[in-house]
Amino acid sequence: GLHAQVVHSAGRRFIVSPVPESRLREP
């Protein structure tokens, strides 16, 4: 899937990926 990336000014990279389907349905 498309992984959006955001790099913070301090240099840390945040990679956004879809939440693992199995985790969304957890009670």
Partner 1 sequence: AEDTGVRVELAEEDNGRKSTIALRLWVEDPKKLKGKPKDNGAIEFTFELEKETPEDVAQEMIESGFFNESDVKIVAKSIRDRVALIQWRRERIRP
Contacts to partner 1 by CB under 8 A: 4, 6, 8-10, 12-20, 23, 26
Query: Residue 25 in 3-state DSSP?
Result: coil
CB 3 within 8 A of CB 14: no
Q: Shortest gap between Cβ of 11 and partner 1 (angstroms)?
A: 9
List CB contacts of 18: < 8 A, sequence separation 6 or more.
Answer: 1
